[in-house]
């Protein structure tokens, strides 16, 4: 429970934590951000790490001179592309039956994998781009792509496009709006709204699928 509460506190007060990280680690902050983005997108057992809110909060520090927005963009895009690439190959090696594994099955929830598979089958390659904006789903989609044996050249194209668009949108919003008084004074509320808006498409898709199933 301590780990969960600490993670929630980190996500909701990520702006304060980032300020501390920048003060304590300086340019190493880019490496820390790289690692978080890479792990969140690359390891299917770590879908709960912050993504959208992390990028938004980091970009909000750029106008203050704490971080360079262009270097931040390059670092996060590379991390996102490499993360999805690793996840794809893990999925290709493990397959969708990984939920039955004695060890990994504890971390990879069947329902999350099923939702990602349904989403993937419905939208195909563009799912990789769309899923970038959906917490949890974005971590499982490249895994499903690999397990489904999507052609790698097809996958990497959407992977790069998705990473560039996702990082650009999240950083852009944080850079231009993160320091507005109404946002700074209600940063925790804004982060919660970002999470809710990010999760909403997956929730709507799930509800539609449930309703369609009942009508059959």
Which among 38, 33, 40 is positioned nearest to 72, based on CA atoms?
33
pLDDT at 80: 96
* Whole-number pLDDT of residue 197: 78
How does pLDDT run across 33-79, given as a tens digit for each residue?
Answer: 999 999 988 887 666 777 888 999 999 999 989 999 999 999 999 99
How many helices, marked H, and strands, marked E, lie in the chain? Answer: 11, 0
- The model's confidence at residue 111, banded by pLDDT at 50, 70 and 90, is low
What CA–CA distance (Å, rounded) separates 8 from 48? 10
- Closest Cα partner for 159 from 84, 77, 86, 79? 84
Residue closest to 58 by CA, chosen among 69, 46, 48: 69
For the chain, the residue count is: 216
CA distance 142 to 26: 32
Output DSSP code: residue 210: H
pTM of the model: 0.82
Residue reference for tokens 């506190």 = 9
| Chain mean pLDDT for the chain | 82
């Amino acid at each position: 429970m301590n780990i969960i509460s600490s993670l929630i506190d980190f996500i909701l007060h990520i702006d304060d934590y980032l300020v501390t990280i920048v003060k304590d680690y300086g340019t190493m902050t880019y490496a820390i951000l790289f690692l978080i983005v890479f792990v969140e997108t690359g390891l299917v057992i770590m879908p709960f790490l912050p993504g959208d809110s992390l990028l938004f909060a980091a970009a909000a520090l750029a106008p203050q001179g704490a971080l360079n927005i262009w270097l931040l963009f390059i670092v996060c895009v590379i991390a996102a592309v490499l993360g999805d690439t690793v996840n794809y190959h893990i999925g290709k090696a493990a397959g969708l039956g990984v939920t039955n594994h004695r060890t990994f099955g504890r971390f990879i929830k069947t329902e999350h994998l099923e939702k990602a598979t349904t989403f993937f089958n419905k939208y195909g390659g563009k799912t990789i781009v769309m899923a970038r904006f959906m917490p949890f789903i974005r971590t499982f989609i490249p895994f499903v792509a690999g397990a489904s044996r999507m052609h790698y050249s097809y996958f990497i194209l959407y992977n790069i496009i998705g990473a560039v668009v996702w990082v650009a949108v999240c950083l852009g919003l944080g850079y231009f709006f993160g320091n507005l008084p109404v946002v700074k004074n209600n940063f925790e509320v804004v982060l919660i709204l970002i999470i809710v808006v990010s999760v909403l498409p997956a929730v709507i898709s799930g509800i539609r699928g449930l309703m369609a199933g009942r009508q059959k």
